[in-house]
Amino acid sequence: MAGITISSLSKSYGGRHLRLTAVQDLDLAIQDNQFITLLGPSGCGKTTTLRLIAGYVTPDTGSIHVGDRLVSAPSGVVPPERRGMGMVFQNYAVWPHKTVYENIAFGLKLRKLSSTQVRDKVEGALDLVNLKGLAERFPNELSGGQQQRVALARSLVVEPDILLLDEPLSNLDAKLREKMRGELKQLQRRTGITFIYVTHDQAEALALSDQIAVMHAGRLQQFGSPFDVYTTPANRVVADFMGLVNLVPGRIRSISGDMAQIEADGGLVLVAPRPPEMALGMEIEIAIRPENIRLSATPETFAGVVSERTFLGNLCEYVVVIAGGRALRVQTHPLQQFSIGQNVGITIDPSQCSLFAREPDAVASAA
């Protein structure tokens, strides 16, 4: 009913001479009833994309369709209030001099509803966000999490098909953020509304989303499930952004079927799945997640020396120096302890590694 199709969407800002491209050639097909996250570092174009979808910004090129309906094109946009979308902002934007009830009911004012209908809808929305019993409070009598729930209820009360959320949890403390995360996910499941959620927090994106759109410098880098984006990043930008990763330069020494033998810095030799575009002799980077390296107190094919250790409660993080002075970050179970200066054996699971072609300038600087 409310799938969104974004085609060749671009938007730049600035004057005639200095233009800054906020979103470039964005193609995205968002299915109905999904939790979608736009993820990327600050300034990568997430908010601009959300504002384009909401109808606050007119694109320079491209189009946005909701179902079959064209809602945005350079020639004009359907205004925000006629798109069947709601929006929730980072700073809540609740009215301080209105009660919770009045804040939520405000969105219904423009619709010709009886007072009984308004009360039913507001109570339904309060129930959805677990704010029952607080209707007569003022915002300054609520916690940050409760204020954010009021903002959510206010955008849900008008029964949108699509809810747009711009970093809605970033003003909350860590514990509350995690609790609200769970509630948002449940809310999406219960209502069937398509959620488009913006965040720079990769853990949040992994926890919440059906699909993640990873953005960088105004461009879409990858669109996929949390599992795919984390385990099979499309390029080094995605690998680097989605958690910790060791990026080790190397080259392809031989190829056999789908597998490639790689010789990488630090004396690492690995046989890993080969992306189809990788050819013999190619300069590459191998991406190895810290949790896919095992350490042992006994000698293995590769060896190193522990140079740093950080106990993080649920895991231990090490820096291990291998041949040529190259440092690898490694994560182990917290009970598996090694001491600084200890010689350790290293085992890398090559099936969990990703290979990327090295950019020519990176090749030059590594040489």
Distance from C-alpha of 232 to C-alpha of 3, rounded to nearest angstrom: 26
CA distance 300 to 292: 15
Cα gap 29→77, rounded to integer Å: 19
Question: Under rule CB under 5 A, how many of the chain's residues touch Mg ion?
Answer: 1
Going through 74-228 in order, the beta strands assigned E by DSSP cover 76-77, 85-88, 162-166, 194-199, 211-216, 219-224
- Contact predicate 196/164, CB 8 Å: yes
Residues 27-86 that bind Mg ion (CB under 5 A): 47
User: Are residues 301 and 350 in contact, defined by beta-carbon separation less than 8 angstroms?
Assistant: no
Answer with the entry of ligand ADP, Mg ion, none that 226 interacts with (C-beta below 5 to 8 A by kind). none
Residue in the structure block whose two tokens are 């199709």: 5
Cα 45 versus chain centre, distance: 13
Where on the chain is the footprint of ligand ADP (CB under 6 A)? 13, 20, 22, 40, 42-48
User: By CB under 5 A, is residue 155 in contact with Mg ion?
Assistant: no
Residue 48 near which of ligand ADP, Mg ion, none (CB within 5-8 Å, type-dependent): ligand ADP
Q: Which is nearer to ligand ADP, 55 or 304 (CB)?
A: 55
Q: Of these partners, Mg ion, ligand ADP, none, which one is at the site of residue 147 (CB under 5 to 8 Å by kind)?
A: none
Per-residue tokens: 238 = 């995605």
Q: Output the smallest distance, CB 33 to ligand ADP, in A.
A: 25
Shortest-Cβ-distance residue relative to Mg ion: 47
Distance in angstroms (rounded) separating the CA atoms of residues 163 and 293: 40
Q: Does 209 bind Mg ion (CB under 5 A)?
A: no
306-322 b/e (C-beta count within 10 Å ≥ 16 → b): beebeeeeeebbbbbeb
Q: How far is the CB of 128 from ligand ADP (least distance, A)?
A: 27
Structure tokens at 22: 């906020």
Identify whether the C-beta of residue 148 lies closer than 8 Å to the C-beta of residue 180: yes
Query: 44 or 156, CB closer to ligand ADP?
Result: 44
CB of 48 to ligand ADP, least distance (A): 3
13 binds, among Mg ion, ligand ADP, none (CB under 5 to 8 A by kind): ligand ADP
Q: Which does 62 bind (CB under 5 to 8 A by kind): ligand ADP, Mg ion, none?
A: none
Min CB(49)–ligand ADP separation in Å: 7
Grouping H, G, I as helix, E, B as strand and the rest as coil, residue 67 is: coil
What single letter denotes the amino acid at residue 244?
L
Taking the least distance from each CB to ligand ADP, the nearer of 1 and 20 is: 20
Q: Is 344 helix (H, G, I), strand (E, B) or coil?
A: strand
Residue 48 or 331 with smaller CB distance to Mg ion: 48
- For residue 78, the tally of other CB atoms under 10 A from its CB is 16
Q: In terms of CB distance, is 188 or 199 closer to Mg ion?
A: 199
316 close to 336: Cβ distance less than 8 angstroms? yes
> Taking the alpha carbons of 157, 163, 164, 165 in that order, is the dihedral positive or negative?
positive
Residue whose CB is less far from ligand ADP, 229 or 282: 229
Does position 147 interact with Mg ion (CB under 5 A)? The reply is no
- Which residue number, 94 or 164, has a Cβ lying nearer to Mg ion? 164
What string marks each residue from 224 to 263 as x (binds Mg ion by CB under 5 A) or -?
Answer: ----------------------------------------
**Residue 89 beta carbon to Mg ion: minimum distance, rounded to whole angstroms:** 10
Nearer of residues 43 and 345 to ligand ADP, judged by Cβ: 43
- State the minimum distance, in angstroms, from the CB of residue 327 to Mg ion: 33
Residues in contact with Mg ion by CB under 5 A are 47
